[in-house]
């Protein structure tokens, strides 16, 4: 065993000495920089680091740079079926780029996100991403914007994975278009008596998806009465309860659109648990991975979570624009067993 491994942690100078290169060259090779590092030297440095069991001193690097290398993702309300696919997408994208990844879970209250941003500022990451929907009645937005602007003034980069509208680079989903396309698809399959499990009254994500769905029905000549749009929490259990409320009213309904897949699973579970004799089709939005284990397979709007993450990282690692930039990722409807064509 190498003596260094038993006495003290290996240092960068030890790696450079064993590889026969300068400390600057060893540093660039270990940090993934191609500047001034020949391939043969890079290989020797990596082999020396492995031999010595060298690990970078992240704290020292942060002091030297003024920033911790890598990406910190703030996710609202974790664990949460809506946020999990985004988190997985960002994790995969950072791994492909060899970037350190840190996850901070904020609470469900809007003020929790402001607190989490200030916590992240203390860690001084290079890139700070925030995911999670906003609400129209969120009074903490000015405080959130101020905290993020302070973070950028200190040298960090902010990218939001959420709705448009805040003064930062943003990756947004085409939520309204996705809802519109789902309505068009269901009408095309022959459904006419529809309802929506919509979620929080002031949530921007559910508002946009619901409004898009209603607009799609209207363009097909179908008016959706207000009492067929059910409002509640943005989760599976709430959707389960809202489905019961809807069907106990004995309204004619042949299809239910839930504005996220977690809620759609709540609808499917209610129909299974109650053994309701009525054939009710169910559709969702997001195409989360959990759907692979669901029977019947769920019709949904597919979103490419890895594309979302790649767009966010591209914004974060490219030169700043003169003004905040927005990239909108569109989804597409996938028709599965939960919405069979209506027999004529």
> For the domain that residue 190 is a member of, what is the CATH number?
3.40.50.2300
pLDDT: is 142 or 135 the higher one?
142
> For the domain that residue 42 is a member of, what is the CATH number?
1.10.260.40
Residue 234: inside a domain, yes or no? yes
Asked if residue 243 and residue 310 are part of one domain, the reply reads: no
pLDDT at 125: 85
- CA-to-CA distance for 115 and 136, rounded, in angstroms? 20
- CA-to-CA distance for 195 and 246, rounded, in angstroms? 9
Asked if residue 154 and residue 100 are part of one domain, the reply reads: yes
Domain end among 56, 77, 98: 56
Give Dmax (Cα) for the chain: 81
Q: What's the domain range around 31?
A: 3-56
- CA-to-CA distance for 95 and 118, rounded, in angstroms? 25
Query: Of the given ranges (53-67, 120-134, 247-261), which has the lowest mean pLDDT?
Result: 53-67
Asked if residue 196 and residue 153 are part of one domain, the reply reads: no
Q: How confident is the model at residue 334 (pLDDT cuts 50, 70, 90)?
A: very high
Residue 12: inside a domain, yes or no? yes
Residue 146: inside a domain, yes or no? yes
Asked if residue 180 and residue 298 are part of one domain, the reply reads: yes
pLDDT at 83: 52
Asked if residue 139 and residue 115 are part of one domain, the reply reads: yes
Residue in 161, 184, 173, 133 with CA at minimum distance from that of residue 333: 184
Residue 318: inside a domain, yes or no? yes
Q: How confident is the model at residue 5 (pLDDT cuts 50, 70, 90)?
A: very low
**DSSP line for 58-106:** HHHHHHHHSSEEEEEEEEETSS-TTTHHHHHHHHHHHHHTT--EEEEEE
Phi first, then psi, for residue 131 (nearest 5°) are -125, 150
Phi first, then psi, for residue 307 (nearest 5°) are -65, -40
pLDDT at 103: 87
Whether the pTM exceeds 0.85: the reply is no
pLDDT at 4: 42
Asked if residue 279 and residue 252 are part of one domain, the reply reads: yes
Residue 343: inside a domain, yes or no? no
- Residues 6 or more apart in contact with residue 294 via CB below 8 angstroms: 265, 268
pLDDT tens, 259-318?
Answer: 999 999 999 999 999 886 568 999 999 998 888 888 899 999 999 988 999 999 999 988
| 237-269 burial code (b ≥16 CB/10 A, e <16) | ebbbebbbebbeeeeebbbbbbbbbbbbbbbbb
Mean pLDDT of 217-243: 93
pLDDT: is 108 or 184 the higher one?
184
Asked if residue 164 and residue 84 are part of one domain, the reply reads: yes
- Residues 6 or more apart in contact with residue 221 via CB below 8 angstroms: none
Asked if residue 318 and residue 262 are part of one domain, the reply reads: no
Q: What is the dihedral of CA 75, 77, 80, 85, to 10 degrees?
A: -10
At residue 163, does pLDDT exceed 50?
Answer: yes
Establish whether the linkage from the previous residue to 207 is cis, with ω within 30° of 0: no
pLDDT: is 122 or 61 the higher one?
122
Residue 82: inside a domain, yes or no? yes
pLDDT: is 202 or 72 the higher one?
72
With residue 315 as reference, give the H or E element that holds it.
helix 305-317
pLDDT tens, 148-158?
Answer: 998 898 888 99
Asked if residue 188 and residue 166 are part of one domain, the reply reads: no
- CA-to-CA distance for 204 and 311, rounded, in angstroms? 21
Mean pLDDT of 106-121: 83
- CA-to-CA distance for 283 and 85, rounded, in angstroms? 18
The 3-state DSSP class for residue 264 equals: helix
pLDDT at 77: 66
Q: How confident is the model at residue 109 (pLDDT cuts 50, 70, 90)?
A: confident
**Residue bearing tokens 């309701």:** 276
Q: How confident is the model at residue 193 (pLDDT cuts 50, 70, 90)?
A: very high
CB distance 29 to 37 below 8 Å: yes
At residue 28, does pLDDT exceed 90?
Answer: no
pLDDT at 56: 64
Residue 75: inside a domain, yes or no? yes
- Whole-number mean pLDDT of the chain? 86
Mean pLDDT of 18-28: 87
Query: Of the given ranges (2-6, 18-22, 339-343), which has the lowest mean pLDDT?
Result: 2-6
With residue 194 as reference, give the H or E element that holds it.
strand 194-199
pLDDT at 32: 63
Asked if residue 313 and residue 166 are part of one domain, the reply reads: yes
At residue 160, does pLDDT exceed 90?
Answer: yes
Asked if residue 287 and residue 323 are part of one domain, the reply reads: no
Domain end among 56, 82, 99: 56
pLDDT tens, 43-76?
Answer: 998 898 888 888 765 545 554 554 566 888 888 7
Asked if residue 187 and residue 267 are part of one domain, the reply reads: yes
Among 120-129, 138-147, 153-162, 294-303, the range with the most confident prediction by mean pLDDT is 294-303
How many separate domains does the chain show? 3
Residue 78: inside a domain, yes or no? yes
- CA-to-CA distance for 64 and 55, rounded, in angstroms? 16
β partners of residue 58: none
């Amino acid at each position: 065993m190498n003596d260094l491994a038993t006495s003290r942690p290996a240092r960068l100078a030890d790696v450079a000495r064993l590889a026969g290169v300068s400390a600057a060259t060893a540093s660039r090779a270990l940090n993934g920089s191609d500047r001034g590092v020949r391939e043969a030297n890079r290989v020797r440095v990596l082999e020396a680091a492995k031999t010595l069991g060298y690990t970078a001193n992240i704290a020292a690097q942060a002091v030297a740079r003024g920033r911790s290398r890598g990406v910190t993702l703030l996710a609202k309300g974790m664990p949460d079926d809506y946020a999990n696919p985004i988190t997985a997408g960002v994790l995969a994208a950072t791994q492909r780029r060899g970037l350190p990844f840190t996850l901070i879970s904020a609470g469900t209250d809007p003020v929790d996100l402001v607190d989490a941003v200030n916590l992240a500022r203390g860690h001084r990451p290079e890139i700070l991403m925030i995911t999670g929907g906003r609400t129209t009645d969120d009074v903490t937005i000015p405080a959130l914007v101020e905290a993020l602007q302070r973070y950028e003034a200190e040298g960090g980069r902010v990218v939001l994975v959420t709705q448009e509208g805040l003064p930062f680079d943003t990756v947004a989903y085409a939520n309204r278009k996705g809802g519109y396309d789902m309505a068009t698809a269901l009408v095309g399959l022959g459904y006419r008596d529809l309802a929506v499990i919509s979620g929080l009254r002031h949530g921007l994500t559910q508002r946009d998806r619901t409004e898009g769905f209603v607009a799609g029905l209207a363009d097909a000549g179908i008016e959706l009465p207000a009492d067929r749009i059910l409002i509640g929490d943005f989760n599976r259990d709430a959707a389960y309860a809202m489905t019961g409320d809807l069907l106990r009213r004995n309204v004619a309904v042949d299809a239910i659109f839930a504005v996220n897949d977690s809620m759609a699973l709540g609808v499917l579970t209610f129909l299974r648990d109650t053994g309701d004799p009525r054939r009710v089709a169910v559709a969702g939005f997001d195409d989360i991975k959990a759907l692979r284990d669901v029977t019947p397979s769920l019709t949904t709007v597919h979103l490419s979570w890895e594309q979302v993450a790649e767009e966010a990282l591209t914004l974060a690692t490219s030169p700043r624009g003169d003004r905040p930039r927005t990239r909108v990722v569109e989804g597409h409807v996938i028709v599965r067993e939960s919405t069979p064509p209506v027999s004529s």
